[in-house]
Amino acid sequence: MKLELRNVTKRFGAVLANDHLNITVDSGTIHAIVGENGAGKSTAMRIAYGFYTADSGDILLNDEVREIRAPRDAIALGIGMVHQHFMLVRPMTVTENIVLGAEPGSAVALDLRKAAADIRSLSEEFRLTVDPDATIETLSVGQQQRVELLKALYRRAELLILDEPTAVLTPLEVEEFFSILRRMRSQGKTVVIITHKLSEVLAISDRVTVMRDGRVVGTVNTRETNAAELARLMVGREVLLRVAKSPASPGRDVLTVRNLSVQRVQGVSFDVRAGEIVGIAGVEGNGQTELIEALAGLLPESQVTGTISFSGRDLRAVDARRRREIGIAHVPEDRHRRGLLLEFSLAENSILGVHYRPPAASGAGAILLDQKAIDRRADLVIREFDVRPPDPALPARALSGGNQQKLIIGREFELPPVLLLISQPTRGVDIGAIEFIHRKIIAMRDAGCAVLLVSAELEEVTALADRLLVLHNGRIAGEVDPSLTTAEEIGLLMTGGRH
């Protein structure tokens, strides 16, 4: 089935998510849509699936303009979509999830036996093995993805849209998954795959559309392109940024982690010294989040085993508040979930974590907030970190992503930190702010701070880190010198391949 988006525009408040998009997907092909986070890939495909409605523009299927106002319209027209976050009802069974909305039998009697039989034959046809009677909660992510695929196939989808399908898969599962996609193509299905991983684009797709800032910047045949060209299209300049930095001059050990296990993290040991940046690379979901939250004191003590010491002091039973007091700053990976009080003013946000002690709180027992001191601090952060608009009374919600991030980093830098835990420092941040933030992190290092940096962007960690640890399946798969190691070698470690 041929899909065409013609002049599609979608705006969310002040953000123009899709700006006059024109995308054509030919029938019987695997078509990749690539772009950085926030480029508008998912929005475009959610419009095609009816999850969002476009502000203007048309959707054409087999050269006919179609009204798609809700997913049920898309399903009726033969479109299926597997979302990045699976759309499964967790307490229900595989069969119930697959037939939901397209139930066999009559309105007064659900024929689950026929459904299970249909699903079994479908899963044999496409070699998507899964137990039809299992509850979703009991399945692994890989199996859940198979359920999602079966759901689309059960509805006789001719066009399948897959949003970042490999983000949650291990390399082995990715291979298997790709062979399923090829099988679908050979049966005449059309597949759209949204991703930001160039290697996958080159491995699986027939054609590639590259998006940047809500616009299509190019569509090429996969055979006629290469990773460098796609990367240039994606970020919009020839060379990826490299920040100028002098060699590190590490001092004493600040953070010593030995045999740390917590949730997904399994027996991790490493050190971070004063005046160096230790980077952590890895596919998301390999324990990075848990590692940083454990170091910041945000996970229940009962789940943590192994030792964390800070300048020789055991951090067991030291809560998040005390950790910040002794100089451990934390820039969280998700600024909306953890980092900001979106309805609070910039001034109020600038004291989060130090709100209970002087200078923010003053007087007897430091009970009363000192408005003047708070404003001074807010002004300082706003000025030093160029937060715009520079109005401390504005709610944090009113700022752009980049400015919100600068506010958080500014706040944490004011601590001032002895150890800086910083996760995804530039996620969803505009290019100008990225360079600014990178320079600030290096300046922090040069001032003698120990920095532990986590980023899903390999480019970023290799550019900033003095030493690089690669995390895979909760373990450190290797330590490399980023200036001497190629991306391929690091990539191999990230996916569990041996060095």
Partner 1 sequence: MKLRELLFPLMAVVCAFTVGAIVVLIIGDSPLQVYGLLLGSALSWPDGIGYTLFFATPLIFTGLAVAVALRGGLLNIGAEGQLYVAAFATAWVGITFAGLPSFLLVPLCCLAAVVAGAVWAAIPGVLKARFGSHEVINTIMLNFVAIALVGYLTQYDYRVAGDPIMETAEIGGTAHIARLGRFIPGLPERIPLNVAFLLALVASWLVYVLLWKTKWGYEIRATGQNPAAAEYGGISIRRQIVVTMAISGALAGMVGINEVLGYRYRYYDGFSDNYGFTGIAVALLGRNHPAGVVLAALLFAVLQRGGVPVDAFTQLVSKDIVQILQALVILFVAAEAMFRWRQKATVGRGKGEEGTRQQAPIAGQQASVGKI
Partner 2 sequence: MRDIFTISLLFSTIRLATPLVWAAIGGLYSERAGVVNIALEGLMLAGAFTAAAVTFYAHSPWVGVTAASMAGALVALLLAVVCIRFKANEVVAGTGINILFLGLPGVLSAALFLSSGSTPQIPEAELLPTLAQLVPIAPQWRIFTNVSAISMLALVVVGCTWYVLYRTPFGLRLRSVGENPEAADAAGIRVLRMRYLGVVFSGVLAGIGGAYLSIGQSSLFTRNMTAGRGFIALAALIFGKWRPVQTMLACLLFGFADAVTIQMQGVVKMPSGEDVPVQFIQMIPYLVTIIVLAGFIGQSRAPGALGVPYDKEA
Amino acid at 191: V
Please give the DSSP secondary-structure letter assigned to residue 469: E
Judged by CB under 8 A, the chain residues 114 through 153 that form the site for partner 2 are 151
Chain centre distance of CA 222:
25
* Contact region with partner 2 (CB under 8 A), list: 93-101, 170-178, 254-262, 406-414: 93-101
* Contact region with partner 1 (CB under 8 A), list: 36-44, 187-195, 199-207, 216-224: 36-44
Q: How many CA atoms lie within 13 A of 227 on its CB side?
A: 10
CA-closest candidate to residue 177, choices 140, 222, 131, 146? 146
42 binds, among partner 1, partner 2, none (CB under 5 to 8 A by kind): partner 1
366 binds, among partner 2, partner 1, none (CB under 5 to 8 A by kind): partner 1
Amino acid at 43: T
Sequence-separated (6 or more) residues with CB below 8 Å from residue 169: 141, 142, 145, 177
Cα(76)–Cα(122) distance, integer angstroms: 19
Residue 296 in the binding site for partner 2 (CB under 8 A): no
Judged by CB under 8 A, the chain residues 23 through 52 that form the site for partner 2 are 49, 51-52
Give the nearest distance from C-beta 339 to partner 1 in angstroms. 6
Q: Which of 352, 394, 431, 487 lies at the binding interface for partner 1 (CB under 8 A)?
A: 352
Give the nearest distance from C-beta 69 to partner 2 in angstroms. 11
**Can you name the residues that pair with 273 across neighbouring β-strands?**
253
Q: Which is nearer to partner 2, 186 or 302 (CB)?
A: 302
Query: Residue 300: is the preceding peptide bond cis (ω within 30°)?
Result: no
Q: Which of 100, 141, 298, 369 lies at the binding interface for partner 2 (CB under 8 A)?
A: 100
Q: Which of 57, 235, 344, 380 lies at the binding interface for partner 1 (CB under 8 A)?
A: 344
Sequence-separated (6 or more) residues with CB below 8 Å from residue 60: 2, 3, 4, 5, 6, 66
Please give the DSSP secondary-structure letter assigned to residue 317: T
* Contact region with partner 2 (CB under 8 A), list: 82-90, 232-240, 329-337, 390-398: 82-90
Interface characters, 313-332, with partner 1 (x: CB under 8 A)? ------xxxx-x-----x-x
From first CA to last CA, the distance across the chain in angstroms is 43
Please give the DSSP secondary-structure letter assigned to residue 72: H
Q: Which of 15, 27, 67, 105 lies at the binding interface for partner 2 (CB under 8 A)?
A: 105
Q: Which is nearer to partner 1, 311 or 400 (CB)?
A: 400
CA-closest candidate to residue 419, choices 271, 208, 243? 271
Q: Which of 15, 65, 70, 447 lies at the binding interface for partner 1 (CB under 8 A)?
A: 15
Query: Residue 250: is the preceding peptide bond cis (ω within 30°)?
Result: no
Q: Which two tokens stand for residue 144?
A: 């859940």
Name the residues that contact partner 1, by CB under 8 A: 11-15, 38, 42-43, 296, 298, 319-322, 324, 330, 332, 336-344, 348, 351-353, 355-356, 360-361, 366-369, 397-398, 400-401, 404, 428
